A and B are shown apart, each in its own frame.
Chain A
């Protein structure tokens, strides 16, 4: 997906905004002006300020914020929550406001010809005073509102951008647009002001808000195409989620690890691969949570750190369940080999869940990660958003070279696929199916390895039972066909037909 970088003289300035430098392949074009366009509430101002903040934090390079809309005290108040010490940086001479917001209580009449000589002089003065390398202007629309003569404003904006270029600073100008998809700005000139255009969106989709960022144009240099989801973290500001931009450069490991169930390891040809992602799919009650528990117990038995994200059950429920199968989660947590994170899917949107999972993984540094269940998270997202989430999660897990164990609940009791599966089956390395099988008026459970990338595996459907010690895999189902299709039927002594049927139902 990554474009081959085009050879060019345009150097990029790393913004240090999380994820942005990745999708922009290196940051903002240095010494140039980039237009940041978006509807009201699309986080333009946050981006514009964060651009300056990250510069000060990264290498102490000064920043100038030119505001045409909000007053500096309001801006400071609104961004206080992000932990940005703007007032202190002002005193240290690293940050300066150029306050061009409307003055309340001052009657102003405009008549005849004028230019923005004073504004340009003030910006130049502030840049020299703070030795700024970064300048943000917020927003174009507000200056058009202050001065009614569009023609003069246009001409003067070109002069201003020219002055910024002469100063050698890298700058951002924000512009308001009225629609998420349509003209870049209201005044039809915005995109001509800058060589580079970035669009921020805040789209309502299936009653859920989704923020995305798109680099529309980078004149003379390369960038990633398409819309990238981003979120606003309370203590951090904007975080762009590069998802599929993550390179598929992971090493492939041949090391096998135990699933925690010895019969299952045999079925897999010796266990899961160290850096693989395994999906377990089955109806409610088939034993997915049990398998996650085994997976974790298998890791902690070897003193490997394990992380469990639970989105369906509370900590108490999980601990009680595990106890019922002879696994002591509490002791494992006390020993520091396990961390259980139980959350309701509704507590955050999917982007925030992903960032939280990534953060916890990086903090705890586990060897194994289980997510039970992935499908519960589907509730808080759009189909597109969910797909991006799964791609982001699996590629992150593979990047860290750890084992990921994801569960997915199918809607139909006897079989069939869930939406989750359809989305992620191609991304995961291994797929294990758990199914109910009705035999002689009794519900039995069946397990089969549908896919195991890079390894031979058992292709039969095996019976399994659950008791106080967990999961026990037994014999192959004989004389039953159509288990995977969710329609088990008994056949007598006709193994050939059974085998043929089995082959086709594998495609599910």
Chain B
């Protein structure tokens, strides 16, 4: 990872692209991140059908699953992520202002 990205919040979102939950999840997480974290985050969206080996590596069972890789300790949120406030709470993300 580059020096610039070092302290950024790193998130991974595992989805199945055709699923109805996934579209909503992508939209939600995108909005939440843009509104609260500004440029201070890296979000990677992974379609498990295309990248099953990544799902294996991170031992993902359910979709959608949001994984916070950085900062430690790791946290996960499983479900449709329909409540932006909840995402922030659960992942204990600092609101950048």
**Could you say which interface size class chain B belongs to?**
20 to 34
Task: Give the contacts of B47-71 with A (CB-CB under 8 A).
Answer: 48-49, 52-53, 55-56, 59-65
Cross-chain contact B83 with A118 (CB below 8 angstroms) = no
B48 with A117: CB separation less than 8 A = yes
Contacting pair B59 A100 (CB below 8 A): yes
Chain A interface extent, by class: 20 to 34
The answer to whether A124 and B79 have CB atoms under 8 Å apart is no
Q: Which residue of B lies closest to A128 (CB)?
A: B52
Q: How far is the CA of A105 from the CA of B59 in the complex (A)?
A: 13
Any A CB within 8 A of the CB of B38: no
CB neighbours of A98 from chain B (8 A): 56
Given contacts A115-B19, A121-B49, A122-B52, contact A105 B63 (CB under 8 A): no
Assess whether A99 is in contact with B59, with CB atoms less than 8 Å apart: yes
CA distance A107 to B92 in the complex (A): 11
Least distance between A137 CB and chain B CB atoms (Å)? 12
Interface presence of A57 (CB below 8 A): no
Q: A93-130 toward B: CB 8 Å interface, digit per residue (1/0)?
A: 00000111001011111111111111101101110000
- Distance in angstroms from A349 CB to nearest chain B CB is 40
Bound Cα distance A99, B56 (Å): 7
How many A-B contacts if CB must be within 8 Å?
A: 98
> Which partner residue on chain B sits nearest A149 by CB separation?
B79
The yes or no answer to A147 lying at the interface (CB within 8 A) is: yes
User: Are the C-beta atoms of A112 and B59 separated by less than 8 Å?
Assistant: no
- A119 engages B79 (CB within 8 Å): no
Q: A100-B61, A118-B61, A147-B62 are in contact. Are A113 and B56 (CB under 8 A)?
A: no
Q: Cβ of B88: which chain A residues have Cβ within 8 Å of it?
A: none
Q: B65 contacts which chain A residues (CB < 8 A)?
A: 114, 118
Contact pattern, B 15-37, Cβ under 8 Å of A = 1, otherwise 0: 11001010000000000000000
Q: Within the complex, which residue of B49, B62, B64, B77 is in contact with A119, where a contact is CB–CB below 8 Å?
A: B62
Closest to A100 in B: B61
Contact B16 A124 (CB under 8 A): no
Given contacts A115-B21, A115-B62, A119-B62, contact A109 B48 (CB under 8 A): no
Residues of A contacting B86 in the complex (Cβ-Cβ under 8 angstroms): 111
Note all chain B residues with C-beta closer than 8 A to A112: 21, 79-83
Q: Does B75 contact A (CB under 8 A)?
A: yes
A121 touching B16, Cβ below 8 Å: yes
CB distance from A439 to the nearest CB of B (A): 82
Complex Cα distance, B79 from A116, in Å, reads: 11
Determine if B75 and A106 form an interchain contact, defined as CB atoms under 8 angstroms apart: yes
Residues A114 and B74 in contact, CB atoms below 8 Å apart: no
A242 smallest CB distance to B (angstroms):
39
Note all chain A residues with C-beta closer than 8 A to B82: 112
Residues in B with CB closer than 8 Å to A113 are: 21, 79-80
Whether B56 lies near A114 (C-beta < 8 A) is no
Are A125 and B53 closer than 8 Å at their CB atoms? yes
CA distance A126 to B57 in the complex (A): 12
CB distance from A112 to the nearest CB of B (A): 4
Establish whether residues B55 and A122, one from each chain, have CB atoms under 8 Å apart when the complex forms: yes
A244 to chain B, nearest CB (A): 44
Question: Please, how many angstroms separate the alpha-carbon atoms of A16 and B61 in the complex?
Answer: 31
The contact of B77 among A103, A105, A111, by CB within 8 Å, is A111
- A115 with B78, Cβ < 8 A, contacts A98-B56, A121-B55 known: no
Digit string of A452-482 for contact with B (CB within 8 Å is 1, else 0)?
Answer: 0000000000000000000000000000000
Partner of B79 from the list A99, A103, A110, A118 (CB cut-off 8 Å) is A110
Which positions 219-276 of chain A face chain B at CB distance < 8 Å?
none
B47: nearest chain-A partner, CB-CB = A121
The smallest beta-carbon distance between A97 and chain B, in angstroms, is: 9
A103 to B14 Cα, complex, angstroms: 17
Closest B residue to A96 by CB, please name it.
Answer: B56
- B59 and A125 within 8 A (CB): no
Residue of A nearest to B91 (CB): A109
Considering the complex of A and B, which 9 residue pairs feature the smallest CB-CB distances, nearest first? A125-B52, A112-B79, A117-B16, A117-B63, A111-B79, A112-B80, A118-B60, A121-B48, A108-B76
Besides A100-B59, A107-B73, A112-B21, 6 new A-B residue pairs in contact (Cβ under 8 A), listed by A number: A109-B75, A112-B82, A114-B21, A117-B48, A121-B48, A121-B49
Residues of A bordering B, CB below 8 Å? 98-100, 103, 105-119, 121-122, 124-126, 146-147
